[in-house]
Chain A
Amino acid sequence: DAGVIQSPRHEVTEMGQEVTLRCKPISGHDYLFWYRQTMMRGLELLIYFNNNVPIDDSGMPEDRFSAKMPNASFSTLKIQPSEPRDSAVYFCASSFWGGTGELFFGEGSRLTVL
């Protein structure tokens, strides 16, 4: 299996622009998580899905952030409009119910908002 695939790996954009991050989970996994890593807060959970349905979005910082999972093999995290304080590494992870509770992470998308 190719593992969790995220794109783009790096994104540099200007304040006010729309940013879309993409994720393909491991086939057969029914949970998908979006995390954000910052120095101050470590790995913060933004939102997670079970069977394509959002379960907990309490970590989404503002209405500027939105996430979708239109099918079992694809999810997006959108920031519109982006701000410099959104600069961080965004990770997608997946897991399956009945497993060991381990999350499998992608390599992350590093976002820089100028």
Chain B
Amino acid sequence: DQQVKQNSPSLSVQEGRISILNCDYTNSMFDYFLWYKKYPAEGPTFLISISSIKDKNEDGRFTVFLNKSAKHLSLHIVPSQPGDSAVYFCAASARLNFGNEKLTFGTGTRLTIIP
């Protein structure tokens, strides 16, 4: 079963507008969440993370929101730039309370920024 779900395989956004990528999870033991970005023919690279004790974390143009009651997180990119075109993976772990370092990933969302 897919414990981390990204229900939108693709998303297109105009340059300069806000991109919102969504992720849902089912495992209530997850307490740490990350977003990764992946360009073609490269490995995924870390973008931003949030722990379950917070509901928002911001880093420049990137903000991640966590709604624990809904088991939902989202990544906001504003303003969107052409270089943001990539596949974005949501990931989760139970590292904080359970010491489990392994990350469970979603299936990814391909973001295309239209100039």
Q: How far does the alpha carbon of A100 sit from the alpha carbon of B51 in the complex, in Å? A: 10
Known: A43-B105, A56-B102. A101 touches B95 (CB 8 A): yes
B15 CB to nearest A CB, Å = 27
Q: Mark A7-32, 1 if CB is under 8 A from B, else 0.
A: 00000000000000000000000010
Contact (Cβ within 8 A) B106 A101: no
Of B41-49, B59-67, B72-80, the one contacting chain A is: B41-49
Contact B101 A107 (CB under 8 A): no
Nearest Cβ distance between residue B64 and chain A, in whole angstroms? 14
Q: Are A101 and B102 in contact (CB under 8 A)?
A: no
Partner pick for B43 among A31, A42, A55, A108, CB 8 A cutoff: A108
B7 CB to nearest A CB, Å:
12
Contact A105 B49 (CB under 8 A): no
Whether the Cβ atoms of B32 and A105 lie closer than 8 Å is no
Q: Contacts A42-B89, A42-B108, A43-B89 known; A103 to B103 CB distance under 8 Å?
A: yes
Enumerate chain A residues within 8 angstroms of B107, measured Cβ to Cβ.
40-42
B45 smallest CB distance to A (angstroms):
7
Is residue B22 contacting chain A, with contact meaning CB distance below 8 A?
A: no
Residue contact B101 to A101, C-beta cutoff 8 Å: yes
Once the chains bind, are A105 and B43 in contact (CB under 8 Å)? yes
Q: How far is the CB of B99 from chain A (nearest CB, A)?
A: 9
B112 on the interface (CB 8 Å rule)?
no
Q: Which of A67-98 contact B (CB under 8 A)?
A: 91, 93, 95, 97
Whether, in the assembled complex, A1 has its beta carbon less than 8 Å from a beta carbon of chain B, the answer is no
- Which residues on B sit within 8 Å (CB–CB) of A55? 102
Q: Mark B17-35, 1 if CB is under 8 A from A, else 0.
A: 0000000000000001010
Q: Which residues of A contact B101 (CB under 8 A)?
A: 31, 48, 50, 95, 97, 101
A4 at the interface (CB under 8 A from B): yes
- Tell me which of A40, A42, A48, A103 contacts B106 (CB under 8 A): A42
Binding site for A on B (CB under 8 A): 2, 6, 32, 34, 41-46, 49, 89, 91, 93, 95, 101-108
Q: Which residues of A contact B (CB under 8 A)?
A: 4, 31, 33, 35, 40-45, 48, 50, 55-56, 91, 93, 95, 97, 100-108
